[in-house]
A and B are shown apart, each in its own frame.
Chain A
Amino acid sequence: MVSPLDRKLLRDLAALKGQVLTIALVVAFGVAVYLSFGSARHSLLQGTDDFYRAQRFSDVFAELERAPDSLRPRLEQLPGVARVETRTTATVLVAMATMVEPAVGRIHSIPDHGEAELDAPFVLEGRMPEAGRDDEVLVNDAFAESHRLHAGDRITAIIGGTQRALRITGLATAPNYLVAMSVELSSMGNERFVAMWMRRSALAPLARLEGAFNDLGVRLQRGASARATQDALDRELARYGARGARSRAEHPSHRTLLQEMQQLEGSATVLPAMFLGVAAFLVNVVLARLVRMQRGQVAMLKAVGYSDRRIALHYLEMVVVIVAVGVVAGTLLGRQMAEWYIGLYREFFRIPNLSVRIDASLLAQAAALSFGSGIVGTIAAVRGVAKLAPAEAMQPEPPAKYGDRALDRAATLGALGPSARMIARELSRRPLRLALSSLGIAMATAILLAGRSMFDALPALERLIFHDMMRESLAVRLTRPVAPSDLSVLRTIPGVFRVETQRTVPVRMRHGARSKDASLVGHPAGADLRRVLDARGRELRPVRGAVLLTRPLGTILGVRIGDAITVEVLEGERRTRSLTVGGFTDEPFGIQGHMQLDDLYEALGQGPSVDMALLVVDPREESNVIRRVVLMPGVGGVSSSRAALERFRSQSGKSMGATGLILVLFAGSIAAGVVYNNARVALAMRERDLATLRVLGMSRADVSGILLGEMAVQVAIGIPPGLWLGKLLANAAMSTTDPEMYRLPLTVEPFTYVYASVVTVIAALLSALVVRRRIDQLDLVSVLKTRE
């Protein structure tokens, strides 16, 4: 049999359904965010681990110019090395009919028989290329998907300067291409980046690497240090043009994944904490009011012999039910969100069998946190139960004491109307609640502001990249350095107005005990198409003998302007030179140094050579120019700034829509939860006062004004700190990104301040309207007849 107290519980909950639902919703969002981010992170982690193991992801990677296959046994003797796989790789360009620019990427060898020992591609569709066939390739599935390519399709590619008709035998993903993208912003996007695999004996002649290799993967012995092996490899491979071995942690695909997981972890902590904090506060508001309203009932229960503990438990059970509703709804929603999230990830992270797993421990954590916050919110109410002396409680609650506070009698209040005076006194009566309510509102505003400001960075970033930094129409990347005079042919192409060149070399920079691998870019004197900027957008020009460093690189090396650093070139003769730090630059991507081209030649100990041409072309001739350039020998890629800008805009537009909607839902639930519950509580506690005012002749609007005026004050107080808090939150979110990969300027546009404020106000207004309907329906007679 259901005990009478449990019946009371259920009926009270039914009577409070609006409040139960709004609180449960806030809990649900907290749980959903916790579960979905947590499980997405878990799935990524697990999926990646499994895949790395199955496909034998290397621990250390090295690229070089060319080394004989006979070197391999020596490499296997190096300290820490368990296994070495030597490979051939080349730049590949694929012209697609749907794109102006060719897709760029890498083609890798797989052994002639069987599977790769390390970094083996995983065939998702079709089959491996047959041994002995020189026209068969595997293509990475992200690229294939974005161009609707399938096994059996034919494509034309330029490999090592030679155009080849190829047949796709299958689509694949690989551990080194889980994030299949170029490090260059100009060739970002699945449709612009291609990875291919070909049997080694077919690829070697195309790459002119018969009997030789230019790429290797290393599996380390258990417990071996990657750093020691990298150093050994660097020493061994120096004379073969090695560019510095990289550990897994430095691998771009792996690094991007790690960063995403870190961000998920951050979001999975901050957002649920905000939601559950608000939920605890709302539980507190609603329960405290309920206990006060039920003073008589509590006292009667005590009088007839129910213990404090039993009555407290009764109210606690109520909270448990509310939170349970939230946890169940949050679990369902969280599952859905996790699915959606994983769906998004599949586009970027090509991990096969990436599935949503909400494990019991994660669910238990979410539930424990939710119930914990609910119980915290109940403490005050339960204390109220214990404090209530049964005899005193039998008397109606005395009118709240007014007049003992400065504000109650403040002269300034005299100037206000009676409604405003009532609002001011009521609010000053409960400063803590006012503060917490406003804090809740502030959180809603903050979520909106922080979320939207992520997109505010984009126009600024767009301006910075496409207007201030990259001023060329086309960037032509060469597969290997050439003499500048070799590029004069570019000027003869019709439609080309101007040509500038650059040279980039891999280097290891040292300062004291610190060192970092980065690239060093040489700019010709008077060059102007690629500009180097500081944080204020001012152009910095490298002076002779000095190097400009990307600011995080300066931090890593611990240098100040005027310090000397040692730069070891990781190619050619591997010269070492000392350079003075001339300043710090603030470009948003990568870490590099900039210097004058002549200085770079000196450092290299070579005559003039360049590996990039920047072109200004007639926009009407752009596609013709691209078509001609692609076919020129030694060209490793062409990107159009205009096409890159379009991709940049369409990408950001897509994610903005979905994210915007979610943030509005999140923030709306908090704002509505705070305003609705506060208004309902205020209404319930003051029904008699308000009805009395109506009886005395105040209009419905006057009376609503008093109650909703309080809510308006809470919202008005909450919004400004919310905007500030939002900026803080955006900053924190930004700081979880990997500074070595990219740095976004934190900009908050005026519109975003307006947007965050207006959406908060709308959510508050909508919930106030619901309560206003109740004020309008006050039954004056029965309210006055019933005793409190």
Chain B
Amino acid sequence: MIDTSELRTPVLRAEGVWKVYGEGDAEVRALRGVDLSLFAGEFIVLLGASGSGKSTLLNILGGLDVPSAGRVTYRDQDLTEARDDQLTRYRREHVGFVFQFYNLIPSLTARENVALVTELADDPLEPDEALALVGLGQRAEHFPSELSGGEQQRVAIARAVAKRPDLLLCDEPTGALDCATGRLVLTVLDRVNRELGTTTAIITHNAPIAAMAHRVVSMADGTITSDRPNADRASPETLRW
């Protein structure tokens, strides 16, 4: 099989990215010269132990943070040189986030949480459409406190995909969930990737999840230790951990 990454131009490219926190004795090198490209429509899993730098990398790719050194480009746009308002616009127009702890607004219903994002977008899905996509069409009127953890995470996914982002970045999306609920959430992410063609990156410390990816990138100590395509993709329903 031909390595697809060689043939296509990347959507997002990180080159020689460093991230250093603190100074002197307290200096922490979270990223040490990372190179990574994300291609249109692919589903990648970033594997790594706690402290490997994967969240830092994801935050930088999503425009939530800026590297200490190196370059990040989205299509033709240099994100390292971008001003704060340009990063805000980048996030608003191109990136969807899914967080480990869902980060729903507790005082808004499921539909209203999704609407928070569709309000800002140019050509969004209807909030109900997005909720139906994650299988929560019936729960639109519920507040976060009335939803289970898995349901909350699916609302967060609906919120992330409702604006039809180019990139869907997920930070430990199953981290706070049990195995069965986690599989359900991964199934939804897989479906979004296939049906909407959204480039999706999941970071996790949970190795079995890698089996559903097009490509698996492993990290340790702030560097990428391996980057391999996964020819034999597993269906998320079959994953066990």
Name A's B-contacting residues (CB within 8 A): 3-5, 7-8, 11-12, 15, 296-297, 299-308, 389-391, 394, 787
Contact = CB atoms under 8 A, between A and B. Distances in A.
Contacts of A5: 116
A8 B119 CA distance: 14
B103 A299 contact: yes
Given A4-B119, A305-B88, A307-B88, A15 B97 contact: no
A318 to B, nearest CB: 12
A91 to B, nearest CB: 76
A12 B85 CA distance: 27
A303 B62 contact: yes
Contact of B64 (A15, A307, A390): A390
Given A303-B62, A304-B92, A4 B116 contact: yes
Among B85, B107, B159, chain A packs the most CB atoms within 10 A around the CB of: B107
A87 B190 CA distance: 105
Contact of B113 (A4, A12, A15): A4
A517 B141 CA distance: 82
* Band of interface residues on B: 20 to 34
B120 A305 contact: yes
Among A302, A303, A304, chain B packs the most CB atoms within 10 A around the CB of: A304
Nearest to B96: A304
B93 interface: yes
A299 B103 CA distance: 9
Contacts of B105: 4, 8, 297, 300
Contacts of A394: 59, 64, 99, 103, 171
A175 to B, nearest CB: 62
Nearest to A14: B107
B112 A7 contact: yes
Contact of B116 (A301, A308, A390): A301
B65 interface: yes
B125 to A, nearest CB: 14
B211 interface: no
Given A301-B116, A304-B97, A389 B65 contact: yes
A390 B112 CA distance: 21
A7 B101 contact: no
Contacts, number: 76
A683 to B, nearest CB: 17
A296 B160 CA distance: 16
Nearest to B116: A4
A297 B99 CA distance: 12
B107 A8 contact: yes
Contacts of B113: 4
A300 B99 contact: yes
Contact of B85 (A3, A7, A11, A307): A307
A296 B103 CA distance: 6
The A interface is mostly helix, strand or loop, or mixed, namely: helix
Contact of B159 (A8, A304, A308): A304
Contacts of A15: 107
Contact of A787 (B62, B64, B101): B101
Contact of B120 (A12, A300, A306, A787): A306
B115 interface: yes
B91 interface: yes
A304 B107 contact: no
The 5 tightest CB contacts between A and B, nearest first, are A305-B92, A11-B107, A391-B64, A391-B59, A300-B103
A7 B65 contact: no
B117 interface: yes
B108 interface: yes
Contacts of A390: 64-65, 91
B89 interface: yes
B232 to A, nearest CB: 33
A556 B218 CA distance: 91
A394 B103 CA distance: 8
Contacts of A8: 105, 107-108, 112
A3 B116 CA distance: 8
Nearest to A787: B101
Interface string B105-129: 1011000110111011000000000
Given A12-B107, A394-B103, A304 B116 contact: yes
B103 A391 contact: no
B112 A304 contact: no
26 contacts: A4-B112, A4-B119, A5-B116, A7-B107, A7-B108, A8-B105, A8-B108, A8-B112, A11-B107, A11-B108, A15-B107, A296-B101, A300-B97, A300-B105, A302-B64, A303-B62, A303-B64, A304-B96, A304-B97, A304-B159, A305-B88, A305-B92, A305-B93, A307-B88, A389-B65, A391-B59
Contacts of B112: 4, 7-8
Contacts of A389: 64-65
Contacts of A11: 107-108
Contacts of A4: 105, 108, 112-113, 115-116, 119
